[in-house]
Amino acid sequence: MTPHHHPSEDLIASCAAGTLRPGAALVVRAHLARCPTCQADAGFFESLGGALLEAEPPAQMSDAAFDRALAAIAAPGRRRAPGARSASADSAFLPKGLEGLAVGKRRWIGPGVWVTPVKTEHRSRELVYLLRIGAGMVLPRHTHSGREFTCVLEGSFADDDGVYGPGDFVATDERVEHSPVVARDGACVCLASTDAPLVMRDVIGRFFQPFAGI
Ligand SMILES: [Zn+2]
């Protein structure tokens, strides 16, 4: 099924140029993997970026920068982020196509509901996580204090603005206050990235937030 909700052209271009924060890029790429239209757009931006680079006159590198580059090449491989681990037997819960994600421990925050942090390659203050919510469940009413990007990986949910199924991309910020409802026919798994925690609007949400870490 082709997704109905897509990232903006700006986001796709930033992702192709490698200037997007790593978690956000991961969420955009999760959409691209399921959306031939946006994948074609990303390919166009990548080739455009390559052509621009080729057209640039060669830049003079300073001696210090050259030394730093040599030191980086000589340094041992990048250390894994603290607490991160590669996919292993107990990552069997990861959705298809994301088996290689480095994830933290799953936290169960209710029957059929878990959240797990996703480790990104670079140091980053953003929060990246996988969230699974059981069929028919309603998320506590909340808003967003920063920009949040979500890609639905499995199942679907609905809010006042529409219905979001596999591959759909959702961008939210502090102007969006909602209480998503998961479809009754199956659990919903989403990959999300945010640069600030959610702001819970009701007492149930405020109670669960510290356990969920989101
Ligand atoms: Zn798309």
Rounded to whole angstroms, the Cα distance separating 95 from 99 reads: 7
Cα(36) to ligand 1 centroid in Å equals 7
Whole-model pTM above 0.85?
no
pLDDT computed for residue 82 by the predictor = 44
How many angstroms separate the alpha carbon of residue 114 from the centre of ligand 1?
A: 27
Measured in Å, residue 58 CA sits from the centre of ligand 1 at 35
CA atoms within 13 A on the CB side of 190: 26
Domains within the chain, CATH numbers bracketed: 1-214 (2.60.120.10)
The three-class DSSP label of residue 88 is coil
CA 115 to ligand 1 centroid distance, Å:
25
Q: Which two tokens stand for residue 65?
A: 């920068």
Closest CA to 92 of 78, 106, 81, 82: 106
Tens place of pLDDT for every residue, the chain, 214 residues?
A: 789 999 999 999 999 998 998 889 999 999 999 999 999 999 998 888 766 656 655 555 566 655 654 555 455 444 444 444 444 445 666 777 677 788 888 888 788 888 888 887 766 678 888 989 999 988 777 777 778 899 999 999 998 889 999 999 999 887 777 788 999 999 999 999 987 665 655 555 555 556 555 5
Please give all residues whose CB falls under 5 A of ion ligand 1, grouped by chain where several chains appear: 6, 35, 38
Ligand 1 centroid from CA 30, angstroms: 10
Ligand 1 centre from 6 Cα, in Å?
4
DSSP type of residue 52? H
Task: Report how far residue 51's alpha carbon sits from residue 62's, in angstroms, rounded to the nearest whole number.
Answer: 24
The CA distance from 152 to 168, in Å, is: 6
Residues 6+ apart with CB under 8 A from 89: none
198 Cα to the center of ligand 1, angstroms: 25
pLDDT, residue 73, reads: 44
